[in-house]
Amino acid sequence: MSNNHPLRPYTAVGEIDHVHILSENIGALLNGEEYGDVTFIVEKTRFPAHRVILAARCHYFRALLYGGMRESQPEAEIPLQDTTAEAFTMLLKYIYTGRATLTDEKEEVLLDFLSLAHKYGFPELEDSTSDYLCTILNIQNVCMTFDVASLYLLPKLTCMCCMFMDRNAQEVLSSEGFLSLSKAALLNIVLRDSFAAPEKDIFQALLNWCKHNPKEDHAEIMQAVRLPLMSLTELLNVVRPSTLLSPDAILDAIKVRSESRDMDLNYRGMLIPEENIATMKHGAQVVKGELKSALLDGDTQNYDLDHGFSRHPIDDDCRSGIEIKLGQPSIINHIRILLWDRDSRSYSYYIEVSMDELDWIRVIDHSKYLCRSWQKLYFPARVCRYQDHICIREVIWYVRIVGTHNTVNKVFHLVAFECMFTNKTFTLEKGLIVPMDNVATIADCASVIEGVSRSRNALLNGDTKNYDWDSGYTCHQLGSGAIVVQLAQPYMIGSIRILSPWELAQPFCKPIYRIPLPGHLQAMLPALRFLPPPSRIWTPTPGTLGSDWLLLWDCDERSYSYYIEVSTNQQQWTMVADKTKQPCKSWQTITFDKQPASFIRIVGTHNTANEVFHCVHFECPEQSSTHKEESTEETPAPAGGAAVGAAVGAAAAAAGTGAGAGAGAGAAAGAGAAAGAGAAAGAGAAAGAGEESPRGQQLVPFSLRPSSNNSNQSLPGPTSRSSVQPQ
């Protein structure tokens, strides 16, 4: 017989799937008297069924019908309470066919159906029904749904109900369903900090609930009202006539209101997790500052010297600032701002929050740090206590950003502002973030501000594989300059990891004949990769670091010595690692007591092959778990090192005299001098600074400050001419 029969279905011939036929055949037995051996009675309606099918589908019915109890007798009739005939009909259909239609049923029937799924142990049915109920929540059914979800401990449905009620608090308070809530569900709702309705409306709704439920303990219900948030007029004219609260409770509330700071009161606020609420969609507006319209437009790409930012003049008394009013009081713990970053300038600033524009709380203080580009800021909730209730979140209506310093001029420029509540975990020490992930990355707006490389940020691009004699590293001349990284903001760091490029002989390593450098740096064999150790790193915003990870160039047998310093202002430096007396190769992991750091400076002091320090990769904090596969096994240097060294020496001699030629000739004599000969230091380097390597590429030097042995020299800003800076 041919296998190409025209009627043969295009399915795997070894698989037969007729589940739908099985479902239809078993479903045909539903509600039929034939073969039935048990009958359920619900609301006087008889439901014939089949024990074996029920027992196969449900542990509850298996125990009920085959457990030796009265219901296990043949032809037994079993009455069921606490359910409806409509819901039980839906359950039997699901048991027999695996299908249920929810879209045509009323909310009350669906909730009864959900109760049966929970009672009889159908977790998949319970989840599916909960998912559908989440999609049909409205003002009329949300209270009833929340009551059932709370009773059966259904976390997803409970959470969705809470979020819906938080966003529609006033409408929920005036709905009929609110009066039917159980006491436990009622308290769960109104005790939430995120149930953001006026306290007068909450009091009136609870008063109506008490009248509708006269048998409940009204005193406990009324304790949920936050009386200090009500005005004196409301306390005297609304609360006092109700007689549900004692005069002492009212007087205590007046005392708390008069003696407490406004920001210490237990405010309610809107909670919208993981969504930026500083948008016009949510009613936010800029109420203070120049060029207000640009700040909240959501455009973080199209800005330049003339437009796309808001600003304020920086004055000594800090009276100016940029102020944002949110659409309503909101719970937030995360702010993101974009500082103008079209050049190398840095800013200092602080952020305050308020509920009334009179009492301000400073939540971020970077007034003593140099920061740039995107700032990812977190702040902990303050703890405020009223009676037995503790407020553990920050409720905010106004946000004020005050610039205190600009390295170029006396104006603070802000491109974008975002704020939200995030469930992301974060750790703070002394107000600074303790990063769990590597923050010395281009994505986190870190940059190398001093050093020499073909690509300015090769040190931070995350590539720890593709480097050779020509590219993939950053370097500096020994005894002159350093490698400096600036982070976007300060962190608390305690570890650094770096990769030096001179340990492994890679098959892809290519000889580099001459790398010209500007000024007094004549020639360099660059290969640098670092994590906050011997290079210099500048963090745009303050933070605390405790570890760095550095990859030294390791394509031959050379070793390096170096030291690492950190700073928050590029003026005062703290040494965190001293490797000046140790031969170091390849990956370097440095751990130290956590330090605030915005800048990390790596200074090479020795190279066994030449006069240049090379680094391939830098991380802080170190991410050792992601680099376990990195090998530090040593292999022989690539063949032809002497020949390459001779060529480099000749090139250096041709370009200049003195130490340059001497370095090249000396490197040629050694078998491992392939890269070393490229470092020629002397007066002749200046002439060759603009020349290209034999590969037709120039090594790009970059330094935002003059190379000097004076490590405390301040970082100069970009040109101050008005044509190249935002005004």
Q: What is the 3-state secondary structure (H, E, C) of 134-188?
A: HHCCCCCCHHHHHHHHHHCCCHHHHHHHHHHHHHCHHHHHCCHHHHCCCHHHHHH
Measured CA to CA, the distance from residue 584 to residue 563 in angstroms comes to 11
Between CA 211 and CA 190 the distance in angstroms is: 17
User: Which of 45-54, 283-292, 429-438 shows the lowest mean pLDDT across its residues?
Assistant: 45-54
The 10 Å Cβ neighbour count of residue 261 is 11
Q: What is the pTM of this model?
A: 0.74
Which of 323 and 628 is assigned the larger pLDDT? 323
- Which residue did the predictor score with more confidence, 212 or 36? 212
Phi (first) and psi of residue 548, to 5 degrees: -130, 160
For tokens 């304020």, name the residue.
312
Confidence of residue 726 (pLDDT cuts 50, 70, 90): low
DSSP secondary structure code for residue 72 in this structure: G
Instruction: Using alpha carbons, list the distances in angstroms from residue 671 to 203, 509, 512, 644, 676.
Output: 87, 16, 15, 10, 10
Higher-pLDDT residue of 704, 531: 704
At residue 50, what is the residue type? H
Spatial CA neighbour of 678 closest among 520, 480, 523, 469? 523
CB 632 within 8 A of CB 571: no
pLDDT of 111 = 96
Residue appearing with tokens 């608090």: 169
3-class DSSP assignment, residue 675: coil
**Cβ–Cβ contacts within 10 Å for residue 571, how many?**
12
What are the angstrom distances between the C-alpha of 407 and each of 117, 321, 412, 704? 66, 18, 10, 12
Closest CA to 454 of 702, 675, 718: 702
SS3 assignment, position 238: helix
pLDDT band at 623 (very low <50, low <70, confident <90, very high): low
Question: How many of the other CB atoms lie within 10 Å of CB of 155?
Answer: 9
Quick check: helix, strand or coil at residue 410?
Answer: coil
Confidence at residue 15, expressed as pLDDT on a 0 to 100 scale: 86
Among 85-89, 270-274, 679-683, the minimum mean pLDDT is found in 679-683
Query: Could you tell me if 461 and 435 are in contact, meaning their C-beta atoms sit under 8 angstroms apart?
Result: no
Task: Name the more confident of 312 and 646.
Answer: 312
In this model, does residue 553 exceed pLDDT 90? no
Which residues, in sequence order, are CB contacts of 107 under 8 Å at separation 6+?
Answer: 133, 136, 140, 141, 144, 145
Rounded Cα gap, residues 643 and 651, in angstroms? 12
Partnered with residue 337 across adjacent β-strands are 375, 417
pLDDT number for residue 174: 95
CA–CA gap between residue 332 and residue 363 (Å, rounded): 11
The identity of residue 60, as a single letter, is Y
Is the pLDDT score of 633 beyond 60?
no
What pLDDT score does 195 carry? 95
- The pLDDT assigned to 18 comes to 85
- The dihedral formed by the CA atoms of 571, 572, 574 and 579, expressed in degrees to the nearest 10: 40
**Whether pLDDT at 720 is above 70:** no
Give 258 or 624, the one with higher predicted confidence: 258
Give CA separation, 706 vs 27, 468, 473, 533, 703, in Å.
Answer: 84, 27, 20, 21, 7
Helix (H, G, I), strand (E, B) or coil at 457: coil
Confidence of residue 76 (pLDDT cuts 50, 70, 90): confident
Nearest to 221 by CA among 262, 250, 182, 195: 182
Q: What is the CA radius of gyration of the chain?
A: 36
Question: CA angle, corner 648, sides to 643 and 649, nearest 5?
Answer: 95
Query: In this structure, what DSSP letter does residue 264 have?
Result: G
pLDDT winner (highest mean) among 56-70, 458-472, 558-572: 558-572
Q: What is the percentage of the chain residues whose pLDDT exceeds 90?
A: 55
Q: How confident is the model at residue 524 (pLDDT cuts 50, 70, 90)?
A: very low
Does 1 have pLDDT greater than 70?
Answer: no
pLDDT (tens digit per residue) in 188-201: 999 999 999 999 99
pLDDT tens across 566-612, in order? 999 999 999 999 999 999 988 889 999 999 999 999 999 999 989 99
CA distance from start to end of the chain: 86
Pairing of β 360-371 and β 322-331: unpaired
- Asked if the model's pLDDT at residue 628 lies above 50, the reply is no
Higher pLDDT pick, 708 / 223: 223
Mean pLDDT of 74-94: 88
Q: Is the pLDDT of residue 662 over 50?
A: no
Return the pLDDT at 7: 53
Residue 391 pLDDT > 60: no
Chain mean position to CA 420: 11
**Is residue 576 a contact partner of residue 534, using CB atoms and an 8 Å limit?**
no
Q: Say what the pLDDT of residue 250 is.
A: 94
What's the rounded mean pLDDT across residues 656-660? Answer: 37
Location of structure tokens 């997803």: 156
What is the reported pLDDT for 157?
97
Which comes out higher in pLDDT, residue 317 or 10?
317
What's the pLDDT at 12? 65
Q: Which is nearest to 550 in space by CA: 538, 540, 568, 563?
A: 563
pLDDT digit string (tens) for 663-692?
Answer: 333 333 333 333 333 333 333 333 333 333
Residue 123 pLDDT exceeds 70: yes
Residue 165: the pLDDT is 97
3-class secondary-structure state, position 322: strand
Cis amide leading into 638 (omega within 30): no
Q: What are phi and psi of 111, to 5 degrees?
A: -70, -40
3-state secondary structure of 708: coil
Classify 329 as helix, strand or coil: strand
* Residue 118: pLDDT over 90: yes
Classify 235 as helix, strand or coil: helix
Q: Is the pLDDT of residue 107 over 50?
A: yes
Most confident listed range (8-17, 20-29, 378-387)? 20-29
8 A C-beta contact, residue 631 and residue 499:
no
Residue-averaged pLDDT of the chain: 79
Instruction: Write the CB contacts of 643 (distance below 8 Å, at least 6 apart in sequence).
Output: none
Query: Is residue 427 within 8 Å of residue 471, measured between CB atoms?
Result: no
- Buried/exposed 683-721: b ≥16 CB within 10 Å, e otherwise: ebbbebbeeebeeeeebebebbbebeeeeeeebebeeee
pLDDT given at position 573: 96
Q: Give the per-residue pLDDT at 125.
A: 95
Mean pLDDT to the nearest integer, 371-382? 90
pLDDT per residue over 341-370, tens digit each?
999 999 999 999 999 999 999 999 999 999
pLDDT top residue among 425 and 28: 425
Rounded Cα distance, 396 and 332, in Å = 7
Q: Token pair for residue 670?
A: 């050694």
More confident residue, 386 or 620: 620
- Helix, strand, coil shares, percent, the chain, to 5: 30, 30, 45
Q: Return the C-alpha torsion angle 473, 476, 482, 483, nearest 10.
A: -10
List 614's β-bridge partners, or say none.
475
Model pLDDT, residue 6: 54
Q: By mean pLDDT, which of 312-316, 422-426, 558-562, 670-674 is the weakest?
A: 670-674
Task: Map out the domains of the chain with their CATH numbers.
Answer: 137-259 (1.25.40.420), 280-426 (2.60.120.260), 432-727 (2.60.120.260)
- Identify the burial level of 414 via C-beta atoms within 10 angstroms of its C-beta, where 0-12 means exposed, 13-18 middle and 19 or more buried: buried
On whether the CB atoms of residues 465 and 716 are closer than 8 A, the answer is no
| Residue 53 confidence (pLDDT) | 87
301, with CB counted inside 10 A (0-12, 13-18, 19+), is exposed
- d(C-alpha 199, C-alpha 640), whole Å: 82
Looking only at the bridges linking them, the beta strands covering 38-42 and 76-79 are parallel
Retrieve residue 16's tokens.
């037969």
Helix 107-119 crosses helix 85-97 at what angle (to 10 degrees)? 60
The residue type at 725? Q
Whether the pLDDT of residue 303 is over 90: the answer is yes
